[in-house]
């Protein structure tokens, strides 16, 4: 019990206002705990009753009694008010980087609802992608977030002023791993680049890829040997190429690719030979001979969650027994050699079969749609990039004759054609002067050096370099290039791919009656220049095993 003395306290009236205690007011407070079971209504005395008297349970609360309300405490302190006053007195300076500052209504705390909206990059914002050419030159391309590999190739073709066709492609290269693969036309370039390790040497290379859709064109025996294809439905003996591809694209059929592969173990030079199977469910190898018993099958990789790459320097980096290696790399693997499943096949034909089947199992019908779309764009006459390249302003041009005092429009088509031929002849004379070539009066005509302006001529490169270029652009029949011979200073070499092997044919010059000729069969078939030789073998096979179909070319960005 405490004593309240006069002038040392306050009292509260029935309205809830605080009044000071008068000197005559003295009260005693009972600080003992309330009785168990007593409610707040029991502890509140009724008007006119002494303090401490419990309220009867049936007595209602008076209306004039008011409960205590929460008091709002202002958050602005004196220091904050001084800062606001100082800020309002200073002149307003515009923010040079408004995109780096969050709006006042959004919370800058990471992990909050506002930061979750700010962290992902806007899909409409452009992304910068660096693309390299085969000569090492680099060009930065600004693309949208959903730009596909086909769209980027079309942009680069227009900038390089090259002819557009379905063979152009982007190649994903990882030099530190000696791996590379060609991107499919529907793949997002930004998503592929986002999966690369930060600070690595991974890059995109823009070049020709003639083998990209060769699986829809070539014969079944060259791409899918009968000994490597097995089906769970019926025997595929005598099946056509179209039916075989349809079985791969059809989700109801279950063809398999089988064959012996050498799998890399834990050590650098530890290679073991296993019988492998490629199915829709994944890649397996048998631990007991050629058995397909599930007890003997070991799971290697998932087709849908992995990508297949070609190993470029297998002997040097991985100690491969052959040069025909490929690698299955999981998508979640960012950097390092750990987690890579590296295989080595016996020859190029078997490796090509494994790579083509892996693409068909993973992409299925989408791969064939890409091929149809590329074919339709290439065969469309008004399509941009189809030869010859013409812009909107070119369609409004007319042939003019400025030989007289005033120019005139040439309306006769034959006259316009003859003028065009004269212009071409004048261009050859200018080219002869620019290249400092000998004139026809000295015994050598311009035709002896016209090949230097062709895309299939690569100058003085080595035999190994020519094989590397043809291999990078796809080992398809008819892919060729012409280079200078290293053994014979006056000769040339035609490098041609046939049956996934590169063969080399020597071209020797010969002079007769003061004129220079070129021949590959000891003078039995002679040509005035290399351009005539190439054009002849594009229509006639001659001594070659196949026609010259595709020229191996390099375009500078």
Q: Is 360 helix (H, G, I), strand (E, B) or coil?
A: helix
Q: Based on the domain organization, do 199 and 276 belong to the same domain?
A: no
Residue 395 CB coordination number (10 Å): 7
What's the DSSP call for residue 501? E
Q: Residue 300: what pLDDT?
A: 92
Both tokens of 35, joined, read 């009785």
Angle at 480 between CA 474 and CA 482, to 5 degrees: 135
DSSP annotation string for 211-268: TSSGGGTS-HHHHS-GGGEEESSS--TT--HHHHHHHHH-TT--EEEEEEEEEE-SST
Cα(307)–Cα(546) distance, rounded to whole angstroms?
33
Of 334, 353, 379, the position where a domain reaches its end is 379
pLDDT single digits (tens) 258-293? 999 999 877 656 899 999 999 888 999 999 999 989
Same domain? For 367 and 463 the reply is: no
> Could you report the per-residue pLDDT of 493-541, keeping only the tens digit for each?
999 999 889 999 999 998 888 888 899 988 888 998 899 999 999 999 8
Distance set, CA 202 to CA 122, 180, 426, 456 (Å): 24, 10, 46, 29
Whichever domain contains 341, its CATH number is 2.30.29.30
pLDDT tens across 5-20, in order? 544 444 444 444 445 5
User: Range with the lowest mean pLDDT among 36-40, 106-110, 257-261, 380-384?
Assistant: 106-110
Tokens representing residue 165 in the block: 């066709």
Q: How far apart are CA 492 and CA 531, in angstroms?
A: 12
Nearest to 50 by CA among 34, 30, 35: 30
Which of 211-225, 299-313, 383-397 is most confident? Answer: 299-313
> Distance between CA atoms of 274 and 264, rounded to whole angstroms?
10
Beta bridge partners of 180: 173, 310
481 pLDDT tier (thresholds 50, 70, 90): very high
Among 208, 243, 269, the domain-final residue is 208
- Return the DSSP state at 487: S
Inform me whether the pLDDT recorded for 238 exceeds 90.
Answer: no
Same domain, 229 and 331: yes
Residues composing the chain: 557
* Helices and strands (DSSP H and E) totals, the chain: 13, 24
Of 29-43, 162-176, 270-284, least confident by mean pLDDT is: 29-43
Which of 358, 379, 400 is the C-terminal boundary of a domain? 379
255 within a domain of the structure (yes/no)? yes
* Beta strand spans in 253-360 (E): 255-264, 271-279, 282-286, 297-301, 306-311, 325-330, 341-344
More confident residue, 401 or 182: 182
Same domain, residue pair 199 and 235: no
Residues 258 and 375 in one domain: yes
Residue found under tokens 């309240």: 4
3-state secondary structure of 425: helix
Residue 23 pLDDT class (50, 70, 90 cuts): very low
For residues 235 and 201, membership in a common domain is answered with: no
Tell me, what DSSP letter sits at residue 457? B
- Indicate whether 37 belongs to any domain: no
- Give CA–CA dist 238/58, Å, rounded: 102
- Regarding pTM above 0.75, the answer is no
Answer yes or no: do 347 and 248 share one domain: yes
Of 182, 189, 145, 148, nearest in space to 167 by CA: 182
Nearest to 520 by CA among 485, 475, 472, 476: 485
How much is the pLDDT for 50? Answer: 54
Q: Which letter does DSSP use for residue 454 in this model?
A: S
In a domain, 512, yes or no: yes
pLDDT reported for residue 93: 54
Tokens 């000769």 correspond to 491
φ and ψ at 115, to 5 degrees? Answer: -70, -30
463 pLDDT above the threshold of 80? yes
Let me know whether 195 and 232 are in one domain: no
With beta carbons less than 8 A apart as the criterion, state whether 457 and 451 touch. yes
Residue 518 covered by a domain? yes
pLDDT band, very low/low/confident/very high, at 218 (cuts 50, 70, 90): low
Flag whether 54 is in a domain. no
Q: How many domains does the chain have?
A: 3
Token duo for residue 226: 């009968």
| Assigned domain for 56 exists | no
Tens digits of residue pLDDT in 301-321: 999 999 999 999 888 888 899
Give the whole-angstrom CA distance, residue 126 versus residue 123. Answer: 8
State the pairing for strand pair 127-132/203-208: parallel
Which residues are bridge partners to 2 per DSSP? 29
Average pLDDT of the residues of the chain: 75
Q: Supply the CATH number for residue 455's domain.
A: 3.30.505.10
Q: Which two tokens stand for residue 108?
A: 């800058």
- The answer to whether the beta carbons of residues 166 and 156 sit under 8 Å apart is no
According to the model, what pLDDT value does residue 342 have?
93
Query: Which string of b and e fits 218-255 if b means at least 16 CB within 10 Å?
Result: bebebbbeeebbeeeeeebeebebeebbebbeeeeeeb
Task: Give the 3-state secondary structure of 158-170.
Answer: HHHCCCCCCCEEE
Tell whether omega for the bond before 388 is within 30 degrees of 0, i.e. cis. Answer: yes
Q: Are 317 and 178 in contact (CB under 8 A)?
A: yes
The pLDDT confidence band at residue 154, using thresholds 50, 70 and 90, is very high
SS3 (DSSP) at 432? helix
pLDDT of residue 520: 93
Q: What is the pLDDT of residues 178-199, one digit of tens each?
A: 999 999 999 999 999 999 988 8
Residues 243 and 314 in one domain: yes
Q: Are residues 355 and 282 in the same domain?
A: yes
| Cβ-contact 190, 142 below 8 angstroms | no
In a domain, 95, yes or no: no
> Residue 96, Cα to own-chain centre: how many angstroms?
34
Q: How far apart are CA 358 and CA 539, in angstroms?
A: 35
| pLDDT of 393 | 39
326 near 310, Cβ under 8 Å? yes
Q: Which residues have CB under 8 Å from 20's CB, separation 6+?
A: 9, 10, 11
Claim to verify: residue 324 and residue 191 sit in the same structural domain: no
Range with the poorest average pLDDT among 71-75, 203-207, 215-219, 320-324: 71-75
Give the domain range for residue 320.
214-379
Domain co-membership, 189 together with 228: no
Report pLDDT digits (tens) over 72-116. Answer: 555 445 555 666 565 555 555 555 544 445 444 343 333 333 333
Is residue 310 a contact partner of residue 180, using CB atoms and an 8 Å limit? yes
Buried b (16+ CB within 10 A) or exposed e, 435-463: eebeeeeeebbbbbbbbeeeebbbeebee
pLDDT on residue 438: 39
> Do the domain assignments include residue 495?
yes
């Amino acid at each position: 019990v405490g004593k309240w003395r006069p002038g040392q306290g306050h009292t509260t009236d029935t309205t809830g206002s605080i009044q000071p205690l008068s000197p005559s007011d003295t009260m005693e407070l009972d600080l003992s705990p309330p009785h168990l079971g007593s409610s707040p209504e029991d502890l509140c005395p009724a008007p006119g009753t002494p303090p401490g008297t419990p309220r009867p349970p049936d007595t209602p609360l008076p209306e004039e009694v008011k409960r205590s309300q929460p008091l709002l405490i202002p958050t602005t302190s004196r220091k904050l008010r001084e800062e606001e006053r100082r800020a309002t007195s200073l002149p307003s300076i515009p923010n040079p980087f408004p995109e780096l500052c969050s709006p006042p209504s959004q919370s800058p705390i990471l992990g909050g609802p506002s930061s979750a909206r700010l962290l992902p990059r806007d899909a409409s914002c452009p992304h910068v992608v660096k693309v390299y050419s085969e000569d090492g030159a680099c060009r930065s391309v600004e693309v949208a977030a959903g730009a596909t590999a086909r769209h980027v190739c079309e942009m680069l073709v227009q900038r390089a002023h090259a002819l557009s066709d379905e063979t152009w492609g982007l190649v994903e290269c990882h030099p530190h791993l000696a791996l590379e693969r060609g991107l499919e036309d529907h793949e997002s370039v930004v998503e592929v680049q986002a999966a690369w390790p930060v600070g690595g040497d991974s890059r995109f290379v823009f070049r020709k890829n003639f083998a990209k859709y060769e699986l829809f064109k070539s014969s079944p025996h060259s791409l899918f040997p009968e000994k490597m294809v097995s089906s769970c439905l019926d025997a595929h003996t005598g099946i056509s190429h179209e039916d075989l591809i349809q079985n791969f694209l059809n989700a109801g059929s279950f063809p398999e690719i089988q064959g012996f592969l050498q799998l890399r173990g834990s050590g650098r030079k530890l290679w073991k030979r296993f019988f492998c199977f490629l199915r829709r469910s994944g890649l397996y190898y048998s631990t007991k001979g050629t058995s397909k018993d599930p007890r003997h099958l070991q799971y290697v990789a998932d087709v849908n969650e992995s990508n297949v790459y070609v190993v470029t320097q297998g002997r040097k980096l991985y100690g491969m027994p052959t040069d025909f290696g490929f690698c299955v790399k999981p998508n979640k693997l960012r950097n390092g050699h750990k987690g890579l499943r590296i295989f080595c096949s016996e020859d190029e034909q078997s490796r090509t079969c494994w790579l083509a089947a892996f693409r068909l199992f993973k992409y299925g019908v989408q791969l064939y749609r890409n091929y149809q779309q590329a074919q339709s764009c290439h065969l469309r006459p008004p399509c941009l990039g189809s030869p010859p390249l013409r812009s909107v302003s070119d369609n409004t041009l007319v042939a003019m004759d400025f030989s007289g005092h005033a120019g005139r429009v040439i309306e006769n088509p034959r006259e316009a054609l003859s003028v065009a031929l004269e212009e071409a002849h004048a261009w050859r004379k200018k080219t002869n002067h620019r290249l400092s070539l000998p004139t026809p009066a000295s015994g050598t005509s311009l035709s002896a050096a016209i090949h230097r302006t062709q895309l299939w001529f690569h100058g003085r490169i080595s035999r190994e370099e020519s094989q590397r270029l043809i291999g990078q652009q796809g080992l398809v029949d008819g892919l060729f290039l012409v280079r200078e011979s290293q053994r014979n200073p006056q000769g040339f070499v035609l490098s041609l791919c046939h049956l996934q092997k590169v063969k080399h044919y020597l071209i020797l010059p010969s002079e007769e009656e003061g004129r220079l000729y070129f021949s590959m069969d000891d003078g039995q078939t002679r040509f005035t220049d290399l351009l005539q030789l190439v054009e002849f073998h594009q229509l006639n096979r001659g001594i070659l095993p196949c026609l010259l179909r595709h020229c191996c070319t390099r375009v500078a960005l």
